[in-house]
Amino acid sequence: MIQLGIIGTNWITDQFVQAAHETGKYQLAAVYSRRLETAQKFGEKYGDVEYATDLDTFFNIEHLNTVYIASPNSLHFEQAKQGILAGKNVIVEKPAFSTPNEMAEIIELANQKKIFFFEAARNIHEQAFKTVADFLPLKNHILGADFSFMKYSSRYDQVLAGQEPNVFSLHFSGGALVDLGIYPVYAALAWFGIPKESVYYAQKIATGVDGSGTGILRYDHFDVTIRTGKISDSFQPAEIYLTDGTLVMNAINSIDEAEFHDRNHQQIKKLNVHQLENPMVEEAENFAKVILNPTNHKLGTDYEEWVELSRNVNQVIYDMRKSAGIVFDADEK
């Protein structure tokens, strides 16, 4: 059983802990929060849990084996580093790190210490995502793709009221691209590989981050267009254009319908895709398999692929961000 600790007490952590318990492979063992009351309120429904309000005490909890980090983005790096140095596996919420340097340092440290680092990129662990991957033909049959993920954030109301919530803050490495745009970028890189060029045109809001934007990932003979935003909602399906037809998915971040419109045979083929009620169960299950079977060769290969994908996604997002002139405080470190 994986003894799990958590950093960050918002709803997403609750969803992850429930998913982790649903796999039967984790037990919540410790909660870190800046305030004891918040930690207790979070942990009380999960039984026998230890609480900490400073990170040294938290990471020193001996039986803690793995830590899930869902704090504001810019804090992930130092927290993950401290966790790895204390001998804990780290599951870091997306976007795991602000810059390619931070990503490289964590990957190197984790390898050195024989510790696992996972980016909680939920979508790539889903059955639906893999079904689409298996369906796609060789790259020379791909003619392009359009992926949108835009969802209004209630925290934008705070920006309109003159405040700066973490998710819309340059200091905390926020903005639409890193928060929601990361899902379509993950999809593009997992399905099509690393683009040769990545650009992003951002519409900045009062806090200086991108409230919305359009990106283009350029491959040898096709482009992927990415639309993302947190100041309006999109209901557009996701599409992949192929030489013999078009694959249409209800959405890119959470695929529960996918059908191929076959131009040659004038027919529509439905792919067998579904979503679980708790969308974090599949990633929690995959991470647990690796943690619990550290010498399994096949799982080790999967793990290395996820880490390389995280590294490449981080680099592409960084390049896109730079092309749009979005500068985080973390860039200056």
Ligand X SMILES: NC(=O)c1ccc[n+]([C@@H]2O[C@H](COP(=O)([O-])OP(=O)(O)OC[C@H]3O[C@@H](n4cnc5c(N)ncnc54)[C@H](OP(=O)(O)O)[C@@H]3O)[C@@H](O)[C@H]2O)c1
- Please report, as ranges, the residues that interact with ligand X according to CB under 6 A: 8-10, 12, 33-34, 38, 70-73, 75, 93-94, 120, 122, 166-167, 179
Closest approach, Cβ 220 to ligand X, in A, equals: 32
Closest approach, Cβ 98 to ligand X, in A, equals: 11
Closest approach, Cβ 127 to ligand X, in A, equals: 17
Closest approach, Cβ 122 to ligand X, in A, equals: 5
Q: Measure the CA–CA gap between 196 and 219, rounded to whole angstroms.
A: 6
Nearer Cβ to ligand X (58/219): 58
Nearer Cβ to ligand X (95/215): 95
Closest approach, Cβ 111 to ligand X, in A, equals: 23
Closest approach, Cβ 321 to ligand X, in A, equals: 15
Nearer Cβ to ligand X (122/321): 122
Beta strands 2-7 and 210-218, pairing class: unpaired
Q: Measure the CA–CA gap between 119 and 183, rounded to whole angstroms.
A: 12
Nearer Cβ to ligand X (136/276): 276
Q: Measure the CA–CA gap between 330 and 178, rounded to whole angstroms.
A: 13
Q: What count of other Cβ atoms lies within 10 Å of the Cβ of residue 174? A: 27
Contacts of 73 (CB under 8 A, 6+ apart): 95, 98, 166, 172, 173, 174, 178
Closest approach, Cβ 95 to ligand X, in A, equals: 6
- The CA dihedral of 91, 173, 30, 65, to the nearest 10 degrees, is 30
Cβ(202)–Cβ(320) under 8 Å? no
Contacts of 196 (CB under 8 A, 6+ apart): 218, 219, 220
Q: What count of other Cβ atoms lies within 10 Å of the Cβ of residue 260? A: 19
Nearer Cβ to ligand X (157/244): 157
Closest approach, Cβ 144 to ligand X, in A, equals: 27
DSSP 236: P
Nearer Cβ to ligand X (142/316): 316
Distances (CA, A) of 283 to 21, 98, 125, 201, 286: 12, 22, 5, 31, 5
Q: What count of other Cβ atoms lies within 10 Å of the Cβ of residue 235? A: 8
Nearer Cβ to ligand X (70/190): 70
Residue tagged 């309120």 (tokens)? 41
H helices of the chain, in order, are 11-23, 36-43, 55-59, 76-85, 100-113, 127-135, 155-160, 176, 182-192, 281-292, 297-323
Nearer Cβ to ligand X (3/253): 253
